[in-house]
Amino acid sequence: MNSGSDDKVTPLRPKRPCPECGKPSARETYPFCSVRCKDIDLNRWLKGAYVIPGRNDEDETDNDPPK
């Protein structure tokens, strides 16, 4: 058993800066520092601000023979 509070506990996740504001992350809202920053990020996802552009398939189709 642990004999005292002198033992160092290794966190499961390393502390990282919040991706929104740069403050240290909190365990409850990881990787964010607060519920506010977490909600800001969620709002961006819901509005479609994070979009990966796709290729334009109108000019190309997979059924066309190679030229």
Annotated binding-site ranges? 18, 21, 33, 37
- The residues near 31 (Cβ < 8 Å, ≥ 6 apart) are 16, 18, 19, 25
Annotated binding site for Zn(2+): 18, 21, 33, 37
Distances (CA, A) of 41 to 12, 15, 58: 23, 18, 32
